[in-house]
Structure 1
Amino acid sequence: MTTTTVREAVVRFLRDTGMTTVFGNPGSTELRMFRDWPDDFTYVLGLQESVAVGMAAGHALGTRRAAFVSLHSAGGVGHALGAVFNAFRDRVPLVIVAGQQTRSLLQLRPFLGADEPALFPRPYVKSARQPERAEDVPAALAEAHRLAMTPPRGPVFVSVPEDDWDRPAEPVTPRTVHSQFTADEDALAALAARLETCARPALVVGPGVDDEDALEPVRALAERLRAGVWISPLSGRSGFPESHPLFQGFLPPVARPLAARLAPYDVVVALGAPLFTYHVADGGPPLAPGTELFHLDCDPAQAAWLPTGTSIVTTLRPALARLTGLLRDPDRAPPPPRPAPPPAPADGPVTPDLLFDLLHTRLPRDRVLVEEAPSHRDTLHARVPIASSGGFLTTGSGALGWGLPLAVGRALADRRRVVCVVGDGSALYSVQALWTAARHTAPVTYVLLDNGGYSAVRALGRRIGVAPVPGADIAGIDFAALAASFGCAAARVEHSGELPAALDHALGRGDDAGPFLLHVVVTDSTDTLHGTRTG
């Protein structure tokens, strides 16, 4: 006779898989899960469900393991869906468990009940289900964990009725799924042959490179080919050292400019990159005539929807090692390195250019930079090169509110100080994360750029002939005082002369000093959107 409960079996499984840090926002339908909560588990409370998911995502990216998230029934899942969407697009492995009302009440459409729990989070999870029987819950969670960690990684959702936790169930033992797979040898040999005969090759590095920890194999391939290296449009990760002489820059998320940047190359190899990520339509072709595309990625769905080129479905590390080994040293000159931007003026009002120049000289190489400042992303990329694998994190999908909690979870993963550059508009989507950062003494330095509104929306509006844009002004918020009210130390800077010392103080805090927010009032001489200056 089984004496183990669902709760006990799940706790044992979470411990065996290393998911002992649980992120959530508790409600009535989850309370029985917390009975006899184990001392070796840490519950990280987010004051809103999207914050909990964002923190879990940062923790998963830092540990390179799946993170466990507890959401509250239908309403909590609804609150979290923007962050779940980001996690899905950014291939972050999450095991998401949502509470559900008692099974005997479901036919009566009860208060807090989810009518179709397996449909609610789709299509932005790899799988969603509510087990038919209570005794199936531990096995369902074990399957969810394996699926979340199998390439392409991502969030998996399980709905658990609240009375299931006290029912009997057999324990489950974690099992290993070896998830690396290599493309057909003939396909890699054909690609190698084409790369040896081409005149001007280029690589486009996407978030899959960082996700699979393949930066070094990509570097080796680029150096063997003497190929220019670009980063894919709006990539949520780093994937190539931006100080490397072969690095050429960041591709724009607009068809015609993207095709123009790649037009000088006769062969382009996209690695872990959804290459044609567009933000606005301009009617342009994917690539210029004469540019041939090859695409390597672990996701067969992505290979299917790509509009042009030859796709090779594979995980990257084994394929890149094999491909580099097939290539001889070429007789071609490398492309010239991209020019550095001129230094920003050091006097006058604080501009993003000046702020990022100062940040670059002060940011230690081993620090992770989290970004969610859409108005200033092009300027940040130009002035703060990222050199290390995992050194840059942002949203690859565009749902705001990701950066603040992502930084908290990433900092909690290894207790090393994380630097988060965030805009005033983005911060207000998830400002509650500051409370969690303070409560858990998370080593995060937030550098908040305050330009008084949604500047990226204004810039896009001007681009398409919509000006002024209603609802784009959010001036008058004292973010330093707001942070202090959550228990997060903070300071405010309005003048360029104050900025160097303020950054030194904010960035020089030890890893045990807890969070700090530097509120910087910035003046934009121009707005930047997708690499195009608009005045």
Structure 2
Amino acid sequence: MTGSVLEATREVMRRFGLTTVFGNPGTTEVPFLSDWPEDFHYVLGLHESVVVAMADAYAQLTRRPALVNLHSAGGVGHGLGAVFSASRNNSSVIVLAGQQARSMLGEEPFLGAPDATTFPKPHVRFSHEPARAEEVPAALARAYRHAAQPPRGPVFLSVPVDDWDAPIGDVELPEATAIRGTAPHPDAVDELVTALWTYTKLGSNAPLTNDPPRLAFVAGGEVDADGAVEWLVTLAEGCRAAVFAAPMSGRCAFPEDHPLFAGFLPPERRALGAALSPYDQVIVLGAPAFTYHVLRDGPIPPLPPTYIVSEDPDVLARAPHGRGILASPGLALDAVIRALNESGATVPIGEPGSAGLVRPPAPELSGGLTAELVYATLSQLLPEDAVVVEETPSLRGPLHDHLPIRSRDGGFLTTASGSLGFGIAATVGAALARPTSTVVGVLGDGSAMYGIQALWTAAREGTNAVFIVLDNAEYAAVRLLGEAAGGKKLPGTKLGGIDFVPLARSMGCAAYRVDDAADLSEAISGALNSYGPTLLHIPIDGASPEIY
């Protein structure tokens, strides 16, 4: 191809399916954006962290890398919190950032990015600024492959502003290639099959019950990212295994209404050890073993023998216990199920048993507007294909109790990083990725304000997203965890006084306040059946639940 670097790069973007671009522009991006092609879609957000979070959710639900275009040092700096979240979410986000002209870089010019490639580290898997302008198209292809291949994660590419108009010369542009996951080593498959044989119908030589020996799977976000939830359901049913959600997982990797679902492992050593200690064998799929958030004194129950299957070698290297197997969960599950069937085991073997998870009863209307009532009502009204995006850190317990995620394919997103601001923007990105699905973001008042500008994009793009803001007038997670650690009279936790209805309407969204429990069902039903983005502001009653 001949022509300019810009023309060649746009052709690479077409070949690699990167024609939807999330961005917040600056002057160093003007040449990249000039004469924007008719077949490209530019999704404008009003803050850099917002567009990165949109791209994060979009990449997760399309299972393809998403491109976000940011201004040089200042814009990248604004977006870094969301890049950190994308890293923890294992999300394939390509950050294409501007840079000042090459001829000016030696003088540290205004809006230049000194040491541009070091700025986003260590939260990107690849960071590069091409040495020559003509290398830009190939560098973008390289960034795509780093983002898409396991272990997935964000990447960074810095491009000087004068590169775009430079001649490309006669070069052959890279072609898009299919990228699969990491297959397990045959010896690892044999080892897993041997470990699982006891729990299959023929391996136990008797009808299986929930009596020992017992097997537990711990399912992490990589399972859903691989599109492998159905395979895990098949294997769990074939082995009559309990299935736990990994601590702080950003996706739903097993249907939470399934009778084998055993609940959510807490991010605390003692409680997690107590939950897993009754089992004879634990297999962790697509998650660290394990992620912890709080430290408490006291004896830690010993863990059973554990296997850890992950496509990320760093996860395996960090694990303080267990036997690591480097593999994408989907390919590992497929290989193990095939091997078990070939060896004479029966997978699946029929109706599963019960893991014994008991959920509390649905709350009564007379109890007032509580998080429990909102989640229970939403659970009754959500269609099967719904996508739920969540960012209510202090209310995750009621979410787990009353809003089981039933989807077996990308039906739930939250941030695995704990950095606030993901949820409201991710709801918009999810709605763009799944335009025919119902997408609902359930957000805390504090969390929503970290990225409230996303509502403007939701309206501009005509998304059918629903935003439910649960307003408890505080940063409750900070207060609760602070008090649990012995803190007293913590400043900076009280909010209140935010009226989300006029705020949302000013950015083009329909918005309503719900103050009466009797009106809740009608309000949620109306929002779910509305055209265009709708926000419900729901002040909630009741004491905040204990975290963990």
| Superposition TM-score tier, normalisation by shorter sequence | over 0.9
Q: Deviations over 1:402-442 (max 9, x none)?
A: 01111111111231331000000000000000000001111
Partner SS for 1:118: helix
2:430 — aligned with what? Answer: 410
Q: Aligned to 1:159, what secondary structure does the other structure show?
A: strand
Alpha carbons of 1:59 and 1:290: their partners in 2 closer, same or farther (altered >3 Å)? closer
Q: Deviations over 1:427-459 (max 9, x none)?
A: 000000000000111110001000001011111
Question: For residues 188 and 43 of structure 1, what CA distance do their matches in structure 2 show?
Answer: 45
1:371 aligns with 2:390: yes
Counterpart Cα distance in 1 of 2:298 and 2:326: 27
Once the two structures are superposed, residues 480-505 of structure 1 have per-residue CA deviations (whole angstroms, 9 ceiling, x without a partner) of 11101111110001121221211111
The equivalent of 1:533 in structure 2 is none
Q: Does the CA-based 8 Å contact 2:362-2:402 persist in structure 1? A: no
| 1:100-115 alignment runs, 5 A limit | 100-115=99-114
Gaps of 5+ in 2: 200-212
Q: Is the partner of 1:37 in helix, strand or coil?
A: coil
User: Do 2:476 and 2:544's aligned partners in 1 also have CA atoms closer than 8 Å?
Assistant: no
% same residue: 48
Q: Distance in 1 between matches of 2:154 and 2:187?
A: 33
SS at match of 2:230: helix
Partners of 1:456 and 1:527 within 8 A in 2: no
Q: CA deviation at 1:288?
A: 3.1
Q: Deviations over 1:33-57 (max 9, x none)?
A: 1122101111111100000111111
Aligned AA (1:397): S
Choose which of 505, 512, 534 in structure 2 pairs with 1:491.
512
Distance 1:191 1:455 in 2: 43
* 1:102-501 to 2 correspondences below 5 Å: 102-169=101-168, 170=171, 172-197=173-198, 199-283=213-297, 288-289=301-302, 291-327=304-340, 328-329=345-346, 334-388=353-407, 389-416=409-436, 417-501=438-522
Query: What 5-or-longer segments of structure 1 have no aligned partner?
Result: 531-535
Question: Corresponding residue for 1:15?
Answer: 14
Which amino acid is the alignment partner of residue 524 of structure 1? G
Greater Cα shift, 329-338 or 102-111: 329-338
SS in 1 for 2:117: coil
The C-alpha deviation readout for 1:276-331, integer Å capped at 9, x for no partner, is 1111112567x733611101011111111111000000112222122123332599
Alignment of 1:38-77 (within 5 A): 38-77=37-76
Matched, 1:515 2:533: yes
- Following superposition, the deviation at residue 347 of structure 1 comes to 1.6
Report runs of 4+ in structure 1 exceeding 6 Å deviation: 330-333
Q: Are 1:255 and 1:283, in contact at CA under 8 Å, matched by a contact in 2?
A: no
The Cα of 1:528 is off from its aligned counterpart by 3.0
Q: Deviations over 1:87-140 (max 9, x none)?
A: 111111111111001111111111111111110000101100111111111110
Give me the whole-angstrom Cα distance separating, in 2, the residues matched to 1:436 and 1:177: 32
* Number of residue equivalences: 525
Displacement of 1:334: 4.0
Deviation readout 1:11-68 (Å, 9 max, x if unpaired): 1111121111110100000101112210111111110000011111122122221111
**TM-superposition CA deviations, 1:132-188 (whole Å, max 9, x none):** 111111110010011111011111100000000000124623231542332122222
Aligned mates of 1:347, 1:283 — CA distance in 2: 40
Contact map agreement 2:15 2:176 (CA 8 A) in 1: no
Deviations 1:327-376 (A, max 9, x none): 32599994543112112121242011111111110011101000001111
* RMSD across aligned positions (CA): 1.7
